[in-house]
């Protein structure tokens, strides 16, 4: 792409949506100076999202002045969801892939449950450092000991707790 003349760069970038233009803009200094990501492109992107019945930023912090201020609030989450194909349809006749513009999205990941996410997180931690496993084991031991002590207090009742306290001797 960098070997093409700047006229073609401008032509290609003029057909991009705001998230794609922003990604291209931050590729290198040449594209940063060349690619337009102004107010009109942001408004076109927001109108397109409304037309497709997708989430739009509702907060008052959504400022169109600069890319940094525009992406500060919920726009960052919307763009992340788009990159991960979170708004695409995998069924026939749906919205299709919003990133590549195809009829069916083949890139959308299946939603992963909480158990699977936790398992991946623990495996990722454990593979990087054995010390983390020992720390987790120590924390689990402390929690089990604390739970056992609390259970012992509730089973003994308030009378047993007060009998353990030494009585005051009156003179």
How much is the pTM? 0.54
Alpha-carbon distance of 136 to 122, in angstroms, equals 10
pLDDT surpasses 60 at 163: no
Note the pLDDT tens digit of each residue in 73-98: 677 777 787 777 777 777 777 778 87
Alpha-carbon distance of 148 to 156, in angstroms, equals 12
Domain regions of the chain by residue span: 6-83, 114-161
User: What's 115's DSSP letter?
Assistant: H
Note the pLDDT tens digit of each residue in 26-64: 888 888 888 888 888 888 888 888 888 887 776 666 677
Q: Which two tokens stand for residue 136?
A: 């987790």
């Amino acid at each position: 792409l960098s070997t093409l003349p700047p006229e073609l760069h401008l032509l290609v970038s003029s057909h991009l949506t705001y998230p794609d233009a922003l990604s291209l803009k931050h590729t290198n200094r040449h594209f940063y100076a060349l690619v337009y990501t102004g107010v009109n492109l942001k408004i076109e992107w927001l109108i397109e999202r409304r037309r497709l019945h997708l989430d739009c930023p509702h907060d008052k912090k959504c400022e169109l002045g600069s890319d940094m201020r525009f992406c500060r609030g919920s726009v960052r989450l919307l763009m992340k969801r788009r990159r991960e194909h979170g708004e695409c349809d995998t069924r026939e006749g749906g919205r299709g892939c919003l990133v590549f513009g195809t009829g069916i999205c083949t890139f959308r990941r299946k939603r992963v449950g909480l158990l699977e996410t936790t398992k991946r997180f623990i495996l990722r931690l454990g593979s990087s450092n054995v010390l983390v496993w020992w720390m987790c084991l120590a924390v689990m031991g402390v929690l089990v000991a604390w739970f056992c002590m609390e259970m012992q207090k509730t089973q003994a009742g308030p009378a047993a707790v007060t009998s353990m306290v030494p009585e005051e001797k009156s003179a």
